[in-house]
Amino acid sequence: MTYEQYHHPVMVSETVGFLVRGAGIYADGTLGGGGHSFAMLMAMRNAGIEDDSLLIGIDQDRHAICEAEKKLEGFARNTRLVQGNFRDIAAIVGDIGKRELPGGKVRGMLLDLGVSSFQIDTPERGFSYLRSGPLDMRMNPEGAVTAADIVNSYDEQLLSDIIYRYGEEKKSRRIAAALCSWRKERGRISSTGELASIVRQVVRDPGQQIKSLSRVFQALRIVVNDEFGVLEEVLKSGSECLDPQGRLAVISYHSLEDRAVKQCFRRLAADDWGPKGVGLREPLKAAGFRLVTPKPVVAGDNELARNPRSRSARLRVIEKKECPGGKSEDAH
Ligand SMILES: C[S@@+](CC[C@H](N)C(=O)[O-])C[C@H]1O[C@@H](n2cnc3c(N)ncnc32)[C@H](O)[C@@H]1O
């Protein structure tokens, strides 16, 4: 199975519409199968700005880079693909941009968060509770820690905490206890099938099982890939390296992720009025960004009908102001 056969980029026309506005440097921090990048490059070609633009695609999964290389073959002159973590997006974009398009403005960045359908549906990657595979869950196959390391070494309290915090699973304590008694009685938990069967033993109601499985798998995946740590870093450093009028677009797939993006964007777009009660006429420091999407954009009915993955997707966009406090043109 290849990405091409079934990977549908989520809210692709909305994303391209928000991001591609003039020649310059664009970065896709979550290249995956290259679907969004392909659409962005196509939009640049159609707008006649391809020759003065560069797209830098980043993914921590070397398999994704290989697949995207094939998909973006026709745009090779204007694309540079890098295997790396998007937490380093500012350095990667800075280095390549300076070398390849000196003076080019950083116009747009995309983060389409989480795992790709291809990663989920490849049992050997260990993300799936539907088909058993090794308990892995590393988006970067060379990463240091696997889900098996966590499930087999964390104590009961810590397991319960991460399942509750990152999976929002109410039966976290009972699931953590079941994991630990399995370890005691039967040894190492090493496959996604074993993990799923332990969760099913705790959550007996078939109607609830899928939800609990998704939550437990989500929680482990978040910890294995330090998803909130890298998200915080990329939102800060990515937004800083945009040029004025440059935009950062983020697509998230669960409420914890969307909340983190929303809160960060609100902070970036808020004027600093100093301590309460001082009664200033002007802010101490005007915001450097504006919210392009005060509310998250969600997939339209057509997309919802043909792409189940789009159901939970939320797209948010911010734009760097021309000068803090000044107004930036609203092109969308
Ligand atoms: C939802 S998929 C992106 C799909 C892509 N937009 C497309 O059109 O094919 C997310 C991708 O981001 C990658 N990824 C997730 N977190 C990352 C990180 N911190 N650094 C680099 N890549 C990351 C995953 O490996 C995965 O390939």
Q: Report the separation in Å between the CA atom of 206 and the middle of ligand 1, taken as the mean of its atom positions.
A: 31
In a domain, 129, yes or no: no
Which pLDDT score, from 0 to 100, does residue 136 have? 98
If asked whether residues 246 and 111 sit together in one domain, one would say: yes
Site of tokens 């094939």: 70
Higher pLDDT, 26 or 307: 26
Q: Report the separation in Å between the CA atom of 139 and the middle of ligand 1, taken as the mean of its atom positions.
A: 8
If asked whether residues 256 and 111 sit together in one domain, one would say: yes
What confidence tier does 48 reach under pLDDT thresholds 50, 70, 90? very high
Give the whole-angstrom CA distance, residue 277 versus residue 152.
Answer: 52
Going by alpha carbons, the residue nearest to atom 8 of ligand 1 is 35
Q: Report the separation in Å between the CA atom of 67 and the middle of ligand 1, taken as the mean of its atom positions.
A: 12
Question: Cβ < 6 Å from ligand 1: which residues?
Answer: 7, 9, 30, 32-36, 58-61, 64, 85-86, 112, 114-116, 139, 230
Q: Which of 66, 93, 116, 315 to mutate to test the pocket of ligand 1 (most atoms within 8 A of CB)?
A: 116
For residue 85, give the nearest of 127, 31, 40 by alpha carbon: 31
For residue 269, give the nearest of 291, 236, 249, 294 by alpha carbon: 291
Q: Tens of pLDDT along 244-267? A: 999 999 999 999 999 999 999 999
Q: Report the separation in Å between the CA atom of 34 and the middle of ligand 1, taken as the mean of its atom positions.
A: 9
* pLDDT of 329 over the 80 cut: no
Give the whole-angstrom CA distance, residue 266 versus residue 269.
Answer: 5
Give the whole-angstrom CA distance, residue 168 versus residue 20.
Answer: 36
Q: Report the separation in Å between the CA atom of 162 and the middle of ligand 1, taken as the mean of its atom positions.
A: 22
Pairing of strands 106-112, 25-28: parallel
Q: Which of 16, 38, 59 to mutate to test the pocket of ligand 1 (most atoms within 8 A of CB)?
A: 59
Which pLDDT score, from 0 to 100, does residue 4 have? 43
If asked whether residues 9 and 74 sit together in one domain, one would say: yes
Question: For 75, which DSSP code?
Answer: G
Tell me the sheet residues that pair with 26.
55, 108
If asked whether residues 269 and 296 sit together in one domain, one would say: yes
Q: Tens of pLDDT along 51-66? A: 999 999 999 999 999 9
If asked whether residues 19 and 112 sit together in one domain, one would say: yes
Question: For 277, which DSSP code?
Answer: T
Question: For 130, which DSSP code?
Answer: S
**CATH code at 158?**
1.10.150.170
Give the whole-angstrom CA distance, residue 42 versus residue 33.
Answer: 15
Which pLDDT score, from 0 to 100, does residue 7 have? 65
Q: Tens of pLDDT along 68-109? A: 999 999 999 999 999 999 999 999 999 999 999 999 999 999
- The Cα-based distances of 77 to 22, 72, 80, 90, 92 in angstroms read 18, 10, 8, 22, 18
If asked whether residues 36 and 82 sit together in one domain, one would say: yes
Going by alpha carbons, the residue nearest to atom 5 of ligand 1 is 32
Average pLDDT, the chain: 93
Q: Report the separation in Å between the CA atom of 188 and the middle of ligand 1, taken as the mean of its atom positions.
A: 30
Going by alpha carbons, the residue nearest to atom 2 of ligand 1 is 116
In a domain, 276, yes or no: yes
HSE (CB half, 13 Å, CA atoms) of 265? 23
* pLDDT of 209 over the 80 cut: yes
Helical spans, DSSP H, in 78-146: 89-100, 117-120
263 CB-contact burial (10 Å; exposed 0-12 / middle 13-18 / buried 19+): exposed
**Total tally of structural domains belonging to the chain:** 2
Q: Tens of pLDDT along 121-131? A: 999 999 999 99
CA 243 to mean position of chain CA atoms: 22
| CB count in 10 Å sphere of residue 4 | 13
Domain of residue 166, residue span: 141-224
Cβ pair 58, 82 in contact under 8 A: yes
pTM exceeds 0.75, yes or no? yes
Which pLDDT score, from 0 to 100, does residue 10 have? 97
If asked whether residues 79 and 14 sit together in one domain, one would say: yes
Going by alpha carbons, the residue nearest to atom 15 of ligand 1 is 114
Which pLDDT score, from 0 to 100, does residue 308 have? 87
DSSP string, 94-107: HHHHHHHSTT--EE
In a domain, 130, yes or no: no
If asked whether residues 146 and 287 sit together in one domain, one would say: no
Tell me the sheet residues that pair with 106.
25
* pLDDT of 332 over the 60 cut: no
